[in-house]
Amino acid sequence: MRMLRGMCLWLLAAMVLAPVARAEDGYRLWLRYDALSAQRAGAVAQRAASITGPDRPSAVVASAISELQRGLGGMLAREIPAGTQISAGTVILANPSVQARLGIDLPLSDLGAEGYLLRSMTLDGKPVTVVAANGDAGLLYGAFALLEHIQRGLPIDEMNMRSAPKLQLRVLDHWDNLDGSVERGYAGQSIWNWWTLPEHVDPRLVDYARANASIGINGAVLNNVNASALSLTPRYIAKAAAIADTLRPWGMKVYLSARFSAPIELGGLDTADPLDPEVAAWWKAKADEIYASIPDFGGFLVKANSEGQPGPQDYHRSHAEGANMLAAAVAPHGGIVMWRAFVYSAEDATDRAKQAYAEFKPLDGTFADNVLLQVKNGPIDFQPREPFHPLFGAMPETPLMMEFQITKEYLGQATHLVYLGPLWEEVLEADTRRHGEGATVAKVIEGRYGAHKLTGMAGVANIGDDRDWTGSTFNQANWFAFGRMAWNPQSSARNIAVEWAELTFGPRDDVTRTVLDMMMTSREAVVNYMTPLGLAHQMATGHHYGPGPWVSDLGRPEWNPAYYNRADKDGIGFDRTASGSNAIAQYAPPVAKEFGDLAAVPDRDLLWFHHLAWDYRMRSGETLWQSLLDHYQTGVEQVQAMERQWQSLKGDIDPRRFAKTADFLRIQEKEAKWWRDASVLYWESVSGKRAPEGYPEPAHDLDYYKALRFPNAPGH
């Protein structure tokens, strides 16, 4: 249509070509293995240019070898031989028998089955790099650690690193349906090609496994916790087995979400009562059937008696009775059961935040040894900010498995740039005060305070079949950070961000500094423009996209944002102190004291625990009303600052990833303003207060925002 002037277009055409040809489309994630500079390649080749290892490598060790060949091959731009020879620059994958053969004696005793040690050595006068571990998985993780180290441009001459996971189960929960849709998925459809499995396994699944192995994730729950019984039919078990065969060489096990009523739906029984012998027998036979196809099947994840899902309470049985029945079915095979503590029953509670604790705390000590209770980080539901869940520390006889949500259901979904590391770190660092001071949530889930032996962390995956896996470049950081936090719950979110940025954009200090600053700001930004000062669950109905603080007409009180904000002409916030729901009593006394005390409670949790007058005077001297307004506007400004920062990287980032992030930041700015304007207008309408002169004018009136509908919002 439009004629462009003169020769400039000729130049344009020539310039456009190059980036298209080598488009960085995000598929490679943090495993990019681009060729190093000649100087760096020379240095690396001194220590890592060939590979040797066990005489008879297992499939997992073969994966380590292939990854080293791929990674070193890419970075050194040459073929990497693998064989029995040791020469200068050989990487030695050294399990105990290799060490014995070579006469190396490295301290492996505290590394467990999955830990590793990287050590620069000289063998027979030859400089080599040893990746040592007790087990195959350790060799695999060590190989990835070595590749990461090289990608990040760190010195390779005097390596001496060791690392071992602090949690045993490091699991992604895929809320993937069998029709290919992903509940709360914002990155396309499920990566499981259910329809063409088991005959055809999408080669992408190998790359999925590689990515997970590179960050220590060792399990995947394949299907949605709102489970279809179909996933337990022979047809789908065969499909799951094909996935298991693909993930196994990368150290990963598969798990399935189990629908509690499957004995009725598939087995034709009249009941799913966990104490009914026929029901137990049905599950036992089903477990046997699964293990016949998947010998290392991990076990079941169960969402029971929550949001309409069937469960043991349908038969007046406890969660423990339900869990233990399933646990007995998988126990002979070494399987486990992950039982979710996210309950949201058919009865209205006084305070939804209290329900999980009320139901599960009394069951402490009654679960079978191979059951973990999977507890969300906060007592409500994956909000931009919640105080830690009061169950942490409160069930010493029960292994509590952390459940984080990697997909950003409540944090901007597809497009907002939000690095979740700080959110998770904040929870993991929280001191439960249940076992003296310093009994952080991290230490609780590490199992330091109980005799039970299982530990774990689950993350609700943000992965789909979008080319870049997670819908955006920065969403990849959340997958990465989850793996790191699951490996070591005491990891630093900031350090993880640095690692990720260097791997993703190349180790360039100026880029890393800017990206790091954006990431570390981003979570506070989303809290500010969505739900500042302890507000929660203000999102629109169903899809949770955009603001809906006015919604108060849904069937049950706790479905409504108004239930959570409790805003009226006198004030705002949820009184969870003794004068209100007394949810604070579920915390250890010193914690409850802090949360209940207006002089001590952190501002960030203020309205989570307290209902306060609009003119309540904050410790800062501002009124609550002023502070709320400030937070919304600060959130918008933080997004605008991220946009400027990203634009400052133009030319430093490849054009394709640059453009997509720039586009998404523009959407985020628009939506941050939408959140600010709609929220402030609503608070004005209930409080009778007005934002002061000079506060940004909303683009529309409140009725406009209330009338917005998004019938095709993704993930719902």
Q: Do 271 and 262 touch, CB atoms closer than 8 A?
A: no
**Residue 126: its H or E element:** strand 126-132
The CA radius of gyration of the chain, in Å to the nearest whole number, is 26
Annotated catalytic residue, options 359, 381, 466, 605: 381
Q: How far apart are CA 597 and CA 579, in angstroms?
A: 12
Annotated catalytic residue, options 403, 409, 426, 468: 409
Q: Do 69 and 51 touch, CB atoms closer than 8 A?
A: yes
| Residue 248 near its own copies by CB under 8 A | yes
Q: Do 408 and 715 touch, CB atoms closer than 8 A?
A: no
Binding mask 160-179 for its own copies (x = CB under 8 A): ------------------xx
Q: Which of 472, 357, 488 is nearest to 415 (CA)?
A: 472
Binding mask 466-495 for its own copies (x = CB under 8 A): -x----------------------------
Six-digit token string for 182: 């992903």
Six-digit token string for 470: 């997670």
**Residue 400: its H or E element:** strand 400-405
Which residue stretch of 199-207, 394-402, 482-490, 574-582 sits at the interface with its own copies (rule: CB under 8 A)?
199-207
Q: Phi first, then psi: what are they for 142, rounded to 5°? A: -65, -40
**425 to 454, contacts with its own copies by CB under 8 A?**
none
| Residue 663 near its own copies by CB under 8 A | yes
| Residue 65 near its own copies by CB under 8 A | yes
Q: How far apart are CA 642 and CA 682, in angstroms?
A: 27
Among 89, 115, 188, 459, binds its own copies (CB under 8 A): 188
Per DSSP, the residues of 212-255 read HHHTT--EEE-S-SS--GGGGSHHHHHHHHHHHHHHGGGT-EEE
Residue nearer to its own copies on the CB measure, 74 or 534? 74
Least distance from C-beta 664 to its own copies, angstroms? 6
Binding mask 386-415 for its own copies (x = CB under 8 A): ----------------------------xx
| Residue 199 near its own copies by CB under 8 A | yes
Do strands 371-376 and 219-221 pair parallel, antiparallel, or not at all (unpaired)? unpaired
Q: Do 501 and 514 touch, CB atoms closer than 8 A?
A: no
Among 81, 308, 365, 602, binds its own copies (CB under 8 A): 81
| Residue 194 near its own copies by CB under 8 A | yes
| Residue 599 near its own copies by CB under 8 A | no
| Residue 314 near its own copies by CB under 8 A | no
Which residue stretch of 82-90, 432-440, 533-541, 617-625 sits at the interface with its own copies (rule: CB under 8 A)?
82-90
Q: How far is CA 598 from the centre of its chain?
A: 32
Least distance from C-beta 684 to its own copies, angstroms? 26
**269 to 298, contacts with its own copies by CB under 8 A?**
295-296
Other CB atoms closer than 10 Å to residue 350's CB: what's the count?
A: 14
Which residue stretch of 14-22, 479-487, 619-627, 681-689 sits at the interface with its own copies (rule: CB under 8 A)?
14-22
Q: Which of 285, 283, 281, 205 is nearest to 242 (CA)?
A: 205
| Residue 558 near its own copies by CB under 8 A | no
| Residue 675 near its own copies by CB under 8 A | no
| Residue 21 near its own copies by CB under 8 A | yes
Q: Where are the alpha helices (DSSP H) in 463-508?
A: 473-487, 493-505
Residue type, 176: D
Which residue stretch of 15-23, 369-377, 424-432, 619-627 sits at the interface with its own copies (rule: CB under 8 A)?
15-23
- Active site (annotated) includes residue 409: yes
Strand order in the sheet with 90-94: 50-52, 90-94, 126-132, 116-123, 160-163
| Residue 666 near its own copies by CB under 8 A | yes
- Active site (annotated) includes residue 381: yes
Residue nearer to its own copies on the CB measure, 231 or 687? 231
Residue type, 533: L
Binding mask 95-134 for its own copies (x = CB under 8 A): ----------------------------------------
Q: Considering Cα of 269, then 274, then 278, then 279, what sign does the dihedral take? A: positive
Among 99, 189, 226, 345, binds its own copies (CB under 8 A): 189
Q: How far apart are CA 384 and CA 375, in angstroms?
A: 17
Among 73, 96, 153, 696, binds its own copies (CB under 8 A): 73
Annotated catalytic residue, options 105, 179, 307, 369: 307
Q: What is the DSSP letter of 694?
A: T
Binding site for its own copies (CB under 8 A): 1-7, 9-10, 12-14, 16-17, 20-21, 23, 25, 55-59, 62, 65-66, 69-70, 73-74, 79, 81-84, 178-180, 188-189, 194-196, 199-201, 203-204, 230, 248, 295-296, 414-415, 465, 467, 656, 659-660, 663-664, 666-667, 670, 711-714
Q: Active-site residue numbers?
A: 307, 381, 409
